[in-house]
Amino acid sequence: MSTLEIKDLHVSIETEQGTKEILKGVSLTIKTGETHAIMGPNGSGKSTLASTIAGHPRYTVTSGSISLDGEDVLEMSVDERARAGLFLAMQYPVEVPGVTMTNFLRTAKTAIAGEAPKLRTWTKDVKTAMAALKIDPEFAARNVNEGFSGGEKKRVEILQLELFKPKFAVLDETDSGLDVDALKVVSEGVNRAQAENEMGTLLITHYTRILRYIKPDFVHVFVDGKIAEQGGPELADRLEEEGYDRFLNVSA
């Protein structure tokens, strides 16, 4: 079992108006096999947490820590984070002209695993995973993300998840822009990765819709850069009914 531990994390960015603190002390522990949903209103800092875990240079950690089985994640390069078992959708390039999906996937898998996968099993694994995600086989020959629709990009994100077998996946708004059919296919992919690889998932979402398909063990509500409330799946049900109003009308 592995543990990803976020402790009292404070994160700032530089803006034209000066330094702005966005995360104001976030603590969260997630173990492999667990699904944690991070919910909250727009602008509450959810994507900032994802970007910070991913090592985006724009975000400065001013205090606190992120560790994976005791190893300091903040000291790791983006590549080292991937090799350590973190899957962060954003670290992958949006479009890579001249690089086919097949080559990209194999190169990335080799970098993450530290050795090239055996060609025969790899080809079979890719085909199986693509079929499960209802990705057209001709995608394998296309350039990475070139001309992919939003829904296709999301499927390819989950394809990577299934093939790279990370310990932890951070999925930021994976549900946005998906129709119900695509949402089901994508959710089933996440569920398979969890069942087969004991993956831990940090599922970031504004809406409760995806939580009908991916059942969270824990729900954390982000408000103004902090976790305002934590609970089990019933908290998501409550948010579905009530929305975020009660978190926002603090001084009313």
26 binds ligand ADP (CB under 6 A): no
How far is the C-alpha of 216 from the C-alpha of 198, rounded, in Å? 14
Instruction: Tell the smallest beta-carbon distance from residue 194 to Mg ion (Å).
Output: 5
How far is the C-alpha of 178 from the C-alpha of 193, rounded, in Å? 20
Instruction: Please tell me the count of residues contacting ligand ADP according to CB under 6 A.
Output: 12
Q: Pick the closer one to Mg ion by CB: 36 or 46.
A: 46
Among 132, 190, 125, 137, which Cα is nearest to 161's?
A: 190
- The entry of Mg ion, ligand ADP, none near residue 91 (CB within 5 to 8 angstroms by kind) is none
Binding part of the chain for Mg ion, among 41-49, 67-75, 96-104, 243-251 by CB under 5 A, reads 41-49
**Quick one: which of 6, 30, 34, 46 contacts ligand ADP (CB under 6 A)?**
46
How far is the C-alpha of 97 from the C-alpha of 174, rounded, in Å? 24
- The entry of Mg ion, ligand ADP, none near residue 187 (CB within 5 to 8 angstroms by kind) is none
- The entry of Mg ion, ligand ADP, none near residue 15 (CB within 5 to 8 angstroms by kind) is ligand ADP
47 binds Mg ion (CB under 5 A): yes
Among 43, 46, 35, 44, which Cα is nearest to 4's?
A: 35
Instruction: Please tell me the count of residues contacting Mg ion according to CB under 5 A.
Output: 2
How far is the C-alpha of 26 from the C-alpha of 119, rounded, in Å? 43
- Helices (H) then strands (E): counts for the chain: 8, 12
Question: Which pair of structure tokens corresponds to residue 21?
Answer: 């603190």
47 binds ligand ADP (CB under 6 A): yes
52 binds ligand ADP (CB under 6 A): no
